[in-house]
Amino acid sequence: MNKEIITERLVLRPWRESDAEALYKYAKDPAIGPVAGWPPHTSVADSLEIIRTVFAAPETYAVVLKATDEPVGSVGIMFGDGLHSAEMQAGEAEIGYWIGVPYWGQGLIPEAVRCLLRRCFEDLGVTAVWCGYYDGNTKSRRVMEKCGFRFHHTEEGKTSPLGDVRTEHFMRMTKEEWESAQHISIRLLTEQDIPEMRELFRATVLTVNSKDYTKEEVEDWASCGDSIEHWKELFAKNNYIGALDEQGGIIGFSSMNTEGYLHSMFVHKDWQHKGVASLLLSEVEKMAHGYGVYKISVEVSITARPFFEKHGHKMVKEQKAKANRLYLTNYVMKKELNY
Residues 6 or more apart whose CB falls under 8 angstroms from that of 279 comprise 148, 181, 184, 186, 243
Q: What is the pLDDT of residue 3?
A: 76
Residue 1: pLDDT above 70?
no
Residue 87: pLDDT above 80?
no
Query: What is the rounded average pLDDT of the residues 224-246?
Result: 95
Got the DSSP string for 227-292? -HHHHHHHHHH-EEEEEE-TTS-EEEEEEE-TTSEEEEEEE-GGGTTSSHHHHHHHHHHHHHHHTT
Q: Express each pLDDT in 266-307 by its tens digit.
A: 999 988 888 899 889 989 998 998 999 989 999 999 999 999
Q: Express each pLDDT in 45-81 by its tens digit.
A: 999 999 999 999 999 999 999 999 999 999 999 987 5
- Of 19-23, 106-110, 187-191, the range with the lowest mean pLDDT is 106-110
The more confidently predicted of residues 151 and 21 is: 21
**Where do the domains of the chain lie, and which CATH numbers do they carry?**
5-181 (3.40.630.30), 183-336 (3.40.630.30)
Q: What is the pLDDT of residue 151?
A: 87
Q: What is the pLDDT of residue 84?
A: 57
Query: How crowded is residue 19: how many other Cβ atoms within 10 Å of its Cβ?
Result: 20
Residue 82: pLDDT above 80?
no
Residue 169: pLDDT above 60?
yes
Residue 148: pLDDT above 90?
no
Distances (CA, A) of 324 to 96, 196, 218, 221, 222: 47, 21, 10, 6, 9
Q: What is the pLDDT of residue 86?
A: 57
Q: What is the pLDDT of residue 114?
A: 92
Task: Please give the single-letter amino acid code of residue 53.
Answer: T
The more confidently predicted of residues 335 and 150 is: 335
Q: Using a pLDDT cut of 90, give the percent of the chain over it.
A: 78
Task: Report whether 127 contacts 175 (CB < 8 A).
Answer: yes
pTM: 0.66
E strand or H helix at 217: helix 215-222
Q: Express each pLDDT in 173-226 by its tens digit.
A: 999 888 877 788 999 999 999 999 999 999 999 999 999 999 999 999 999 999
d(Cα 85, Cα 167) in Å, to the nearest integer? 12
Backbone phi, psi, residue 7, to 5°: -120, -175
What average pLDDT does the chain have?
92
d(Cα 58, Cα 41) in Å, to the nearest integer? 21
Q: What is the pLDDT of residue 104?
A: 93
Q: What is the pLDDT of residue 63?
A: 98
